[in-house]
Amino acid sequence: NAGVTQTPKFRILKIGQSMTLQCTQDMNHNYMYWYRQDPGMGLKLIYYSVGAGITDKGEVPNGYNVSRSTTEDFPLRLELAAPSQTSVYFCASSAPDRRYNSPLHFGNGTRLTVT
């Protein structure tokens, strides 16, 4: 099993450009998440999905969009990149059981710089 795979690992964007961060998981997990982590700061939830066709906003969704057409894939779209979106982006997945006692599995992250 590959687990959670994110691409690309690194990317530099110019202000106003757009890009899609890819995330795929092969564990058949229903729940998927996108987080961003700024230097020296904690993880902030951007968007999450509880299953194919269902997405919802986290605490910092502005400037981002997501889709979940399959269980495996959860791409994050940046439209009109801004310097404030310079960060490390982590995708994660989980398979909550009935007691919601399920840890998250993270991808390796995408390091994005917007200049």
Provide the binding-site residues for another protein, judged by CB under 8 A: 31, 33, 41-43, 45, 48, 50, 56, 88, 90, 94, 96, 99-109, 111
CB nearer to another protein: pick between 14 and 42: 42
Q: What is the 3-state secondary structure (H, E, C) of 37-74?
A: ECCCCCEEEEEEEEECCEEEECCCCCCEEECCCCCCEC
Nearer to another protein, 14 or 99 (CB): 99
Which residues, listed in sequence order, are joined to residue 47 by a DSSP beta bridge? 34, 57
Q: Amino acid identity, residue 101?
A: N
Q: Of 6 and 85, which has the nearer Cβ to another protein?
A: 6
